[in-house]
């Protein structure tokens, strides 16, 4: 076991973990932040995307111990049911989800796209940038619309 300390959604947490613990497991099992999903074991689906020090990463492909000292933001950290983040609101308005399994990762990736590429996102850019997020329900059209609208609303 080894000790790890990080800031998750603004709160400092310290825990003793097995070195094998992935950041996704740490968030879900230790902190009970189950909004971060695990949808594959090949690092391809993006359901597990969270922000570490402001960058979108796959929490299933990062050790919790590597995040010692880091600041982590999960889907639980960006809005509340009464006060949704503009990107969450855009997904709701545009019917950008069906079963919702991919949605937390989609939204965390979408916010990262806005952080890197700005608020005016064309369809081609959004589709290219969502390369690492797989949805088995929606067929993506409404996700793309939601990201464009959410990006503009984040201004």
Partner 1 sequence: MYAFSYHNPKTVRQAATLLSKNAEGKVLAGGQTLLPTMKQRLASPSALIDLGHAEGLSGIEQKGRNIVIGAMTRHVDVATSAIVKNAIPGLAALAEGIGDAAVRNRGTIGGSIANNDPAADYPSAALALGATIVTNKRKIAADDFFQGMFATALEEGEIIVKVSFPIPSKAAYEKFPNPASRYALVGVFVAKKGSDVRVAVTGAGSNGVFRSKECEAALAGRFNAKSLEGVKVSASGLNADMHATSEYRAHLIPVMAKRAVTKALGK
Ligand X SMILES: Cc1cc2nc3c(=O)[nH]c(=O)nc-3n(C[C@H](O)[C@H](O)[C@H](O)COP(=O)(O)OP(=O)(O)OC[C@H]3O[C@@H](n4cnc5c(N)ncnc54)[C@H](O)[C@@H]3O)c2cc1C
Considering CB under 6 A, how many residues would be counted as binding ligand FES? 21
CB 12 within 8 A of CB 69: no
Which residues form the interface with ligand X (CB under 6 A)? 43-44
Can you tell me the distance from the alpha carbon of 32 to that of 13, in angstroms, rounded to the nearest whole number?
A: 12
29 binds partner 1 (CB under 8 A): no
Cα 72 to Cα 90: distance, rounded to the nearest angstrom: 23
* Residue 12 bridge partners (DSSP): 7
Segment contacting partner 1 by CB under 8 A, of 74-82, 86-94, 112-120, 138-146 = 112-120
The count of residues in the chain is: 155
Task: Sketch the per residue contact string, 115 through 144, with partner 1: x for CB under 8 A, - otherwise.
Answer: -x------------x-xxx-----------
Instruction: List binders of ligand FES among 9-68 (CB under 6 A).
Output: 38-40, 43-48, 58, 60
Q: Does residue 108 bind ligand FES (CB under 6 A)?
A: no
Nearer to ligand X, 34 or 43 (CB): 43
CA distance 23 to 65: 8
Residue of 8, 24, 39, 46 interacting with partner 1 (CB under 8 A): 46
Note whether 87 and 115 are within 8 A (CB). Answer: no
Q: What is the rounded distance in angstroms from the CA atom of residue 141 to the CA atom of residue 119?
A: 19
According to the binding rule CB under 6 A, does residue 104 interact with ligand FES?
A: no
Binding partner of residue 102 among partner 1, ligand FES, ligand X, none, CB cut-off 5 to 8 Å per kind:
ligand FES
Q: Contact at 8 Å (CB) between 44 and 52?
A: no
């Amino acid at each position: 076991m080894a000790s790890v300390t990080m800031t998750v959604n603004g709160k400092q947490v310290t825990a003793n973990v097995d070195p094998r613990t992935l950041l996704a497991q740490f968030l879900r099992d230790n902190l009970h932040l189950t909004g971060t999903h695990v949808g594959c074991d090949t690092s391809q689906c993006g359901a597990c995307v969270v922000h570490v020090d402001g960058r979108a990463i796959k929490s299933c492909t990062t050790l919790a111990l590597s995040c010692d000292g880091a600041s982590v933001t999960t889907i639980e950290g960006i809005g509340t049911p009464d006060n949704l983040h503009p990107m969450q609101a855009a997904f709701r308005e545009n019917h950008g989800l069906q079963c919702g399994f991919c949605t937390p990762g989609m939204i965390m990736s979408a916010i990262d796209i806005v952080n890197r590429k700005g608020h005016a996102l064309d369809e081609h850019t959004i589709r290219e940038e969502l390369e690492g997020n797989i949805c088995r329900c929606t067929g993506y059209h409404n996700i793309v619309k939601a990201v464009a609208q959410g990006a503009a609303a984040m201004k």
